[in-house]
Structure 1
Amino acid sequence: MNSHEIVSRLKLSEKMALKYPRVCAAIDLDAILSNMRSMHDNLKPETKMIAVIKTDGYGFGAVPIAKMLETEDYIWGYASATVEEAMELRDNGVVKPILILGYTFPFSYDTLIDNEIRPAVFRYDQLEQLEERALLKAKTGWNGKVKVHIAVDTSMSRIGVRPDDEGAAFVAKALSMKYIEVEGIFTHFARADEKDLTDAISKKDIFASFIERVEKENNCRIPLHHCANSASIIQIPQAQMDMVRAGVTMYGMKPSEDVPTDKVKIGPALGLYSHIAYIKDVPAGVPVSYGGTFVTDKPTRMATVPVGYGDGYPRSLSNKGYVLIHGKKAPILGRVCMDQFMVDVSDIPEALENDEVTLIGWSGDSHISIEELGDLSGRFNYELACDLNPRIPRLYIRG
């Protein structure tokens, strides 16, 4: 770390110790902004970006991130998974477009229309019910259209129309509706984060051919074509189209180990910290935590950390994970409990009660990444980030 990082880290530590001693997730908004700009630098200047901030911004905090990105011209808008997530953004003053990537249930159609939230559409009943709700609003003086994005299934077998005759008929129907405006059409890659990109590129070509077909058949140009996810932004330039969707990489996490990191500079944006609650010395032969899955084989100095799987810290780290204290590794002993776990500080004699514990991030010159923690716990990095629940306070850092 350079001197600026060291000073910032000391200030952060002081803030956490005073306000959030039990546990705190430190979110570096500058790093997120830098990651977005770095990705945009890898695109054509006219290519717009969607910031994917579903699941509360992958656990990082959707509202603070969206508010920060509102002034970035290249950001078209945001993507969420549910109408509730979209409305949290609207209720907090976010005005850019919001696209819901999954299925939206009919109970929320009035809310969507009133707040100009874009649903993904792929079922005829969606079109009919959205048209019906819009017609009722038109009778009360509303004179807009419901903007939608058509989901096309090329890879995932999840949601979306197939790129075939039936899918083309659905697109034609959507384009014919009086109160519906087809603003976009999109697909999602299942294998863009692999070394062999043959599958992703072939699915991009299928998607592009389908768009060409439906636009020709309907004598139109759908304004926004998009298919590129985080991995594609980095390594499939031909998938840019009109817009790309930045997800995991905006948070400084790798899509996978197979995605190169030399083309786009991505920096971590998350630190997870706690403090030692208690230190005790125990002799050999003492079982630790539930089930006694670890028994000391020598006199051991143990520290209790007041964090557990109730916070989203993985129970699967039991007996194999570690934390950093004074820049040194402290192995986890026994099972991680709901609210606490124990670590071995026998080799860290300077460790004292109330000292800082690094679960993710820097401690002195040592670092534990979310990728490493994911590997140790049998999860992948952004699953781990999403599982850090609201009981963990977030401390947002800028400047």
Structure 2
Amino acid sequence: MTSVSINRVEIDLSALRENYRALRTMAGHDVAMMAIVKAEAYGHGLVEVAQTLYDEGVRAFGVAEAWEGVRLRDAGISGEILVFLGAGDAGFEDVVHFNLTPVVYDTASLAILSALSGKMQTPIGVHLKVDSGMGRIGIMPEEVLGFVEEIKGFPGIFLKGVLSHFPVADESSSERTFQQTQTFGRVVDDLRMAGYEGEAIHIANSAALIRYPQAHFNMVRPGISLYGCYPSREKEYLEALELKPVMSFKTAVQQVKTVPEGHGISYGHTFITRRPTQLAVLPVGYNNGYLRKLSNRAHVLVKGRRAPIIGRVCMNVCMIDVTDIGGVVPRDEVVLMGRQGDENITAHEIAEWMETIDYEVLCLFGNLNRREYRG
């Protein structure tokens, strides 16, 4: 029998399905939906999430790199798989062989893809990335028509979609998002006047899907919302629909002991006990994505009650104060993220302790720990 870590993230596929259905209803059935499953589906498991959503009717998936798309094809996922970072030096042949759809933004990539199209006798559809305000990958709006004409000069390549990306759709002020939607809309109008009627026109992420229906065009790209986190804590988002967290993070108590008043805890003795303290040692540390930033800040759940992290989080362990809980013994379940009894610790709360965003919390916990699936 192979030994496994007691630390685990639990992935609730029923919650994933419910989130998808809620977002599907919100977007409307005349708008296509591309599920974003890059970064191991935000730590939830690339193949398992894609298979679940495919069974729900999703036929378009977004990944960052070609190798992720290959994994989906190997798992039997059909439909469109969009590669946001393009083919990349190592992925051109995979794009063609596995019928992936690369995002394009330069003629050098088009030349390589065109040559492979001829060699493998396979037409290649591409999505053109427009930088409508993100300041990241993509071509500028005023260059789009010229670039589309250049695409026509590469045999075997055809324009299948046009996309862009919002940088601030999750902010309370809507002015910049409104302006960016207009900019992208003008690009789309210009392309249509030039004869392009693309299959996929998309800019809406989770935030825009929920709050900006005018940005839906004919496809939306939910990511974080599929996994039960809101793109913003603004009232408009929280009241728009109910999302259920898909991931929880659990471990078990390793040791329980009592230390006297004035006892230093962990490296640097950043916590000194002010009373005789019953502490529990947990086999979780920054090796598991439970960052040092959580030292003397975070709480966990034991026996349905909150227990604070005391002292510095170490590579493989951290300590909690269970003095006021009582009855804690080794092997008791500990919830680092998720629900236990009437208490709940969310990814958002942990993100605030870490001074980061929910996305990073999910990726850290989900990609650095064993996954178990239910539902």
Shorter chain as normaliser: what TM range?
over 0.9
Q: Which of 99, 102, 112 is residue 116 of structure 1 equivalent to?
A: 99
Quick check: 1:102 aligned with 2:85? Answer: yes
Quick check: 1:57 aligned with 2:33? Answer: no
Q: Which of 113, 124, 136 is residue 130 of structure 1 equivalent to?
A: 113
Residues 234-254 of structure 1: per-residue CA shift (max 9 Å, x gap):
010111111100100000001
Instruction: Verify the 8 A CA contact 1:24 1:392 in the aligned structure 2.
Output: yes
State the 1:59 CA deviation: 0.4
Residues 83-115 of structure 1: per-residue CA shift (max 9 Å, x gap):
122112122221221101124313311110010
Equivalent AA in structure 2 for residue 23 of structure 1: N
Quick check: 1:196 aligned with 2:173? Answer: yes
Using the size of structure 2 for normalisation, the TM-score is: 0.96
1:4 is matched with none
Q: How does 1:8-87 map to 2 (within 5 A)?
A: 22-73=6-57, 75-87=58-70
Residues 53-82 of structure 1: per-residue CA shift (max 9 Å, x gap):
100000011110101111333x23110011
Q: Mark the runs of 5 or more structure 2 residues left unpaired by the alignment.
A: none
Quick check: 1:237 aligned with 2:213? Answer: yes
Equivalent AA in structure 2 for residue 174 of structure 1: I
Q: Which of 283, 290, 311 is residue 288 of structure 2 equivalent to?
A: 311
Q: Helix, strand or coil for the counterpart of 1:297?
A: coil
Q: Helix, strand or coil for the counterpart of 1:375?
A: helix
Equivalent AA in structure 2 for residue 333 of structure 1: I
Q: Helix, strand or coil for the counterpart of 1:387?
A: helix
Q: How many residues align?
A: 372
State the 1:321 CA deviation: 0.8
Using the size of structure 1 for normalisation, the TM-score is: 0.90
CA distance in 2, matches of 1:65, 1:389: 12
CA distance in 2, matches of 1:333, 1:106: 47
Q: How does 1:202-217 map to 2 (within 5 A)?
A: 202-217=179-194
Instruction: Verify the 8 A CA contact 1:311 1:389 in the aligned structure 2.
Output: no
CA distance in 2, matches of 1:341, 1:287: 14
State the 1:22 CA deviation: 1.8
1:16 is matched with none
Which runs of at least 4 in structure 1 moved beyond 3 Å after TM superposition? none
Quick check: 1:363 aligned with 2:340? Answer: yes
1:287 is matched with 264
Equivalent AA in structure 2 for residue 179 of structure 1: G
Q: Helix, strand or coil for the counterpart of 2:55?
A: coil
**RMSD across aligned positions (CA):** 1.4
CA distance in 2, matches of 1:44, 1:303: 49
Pair 1:255–1:82, CA change in 2 (3 A): same
2:301 is matched with 324
2:225 is matched with 249
1:7 is matched with none
Q: Which of 159, 166, 171 is residue 137 of structure 2 equivalent to?
A: 159
Quick check: 1:146 aligned with 2:124? Answer: yes
Instruction: Verify the 8 A CA contact 2:170 2:231 in the aligned structure 1.
Output: yes
1:174 is matched with 151
Quick check: 1:343 aligned with 2:327? Answer: no
Q: Helix, strand or coil for the counterpart of 1:260?
A: helix
Pair 1:317–1:124, CA change in 2 (3 A): same
State the 1:320 CA deviation: 1.1
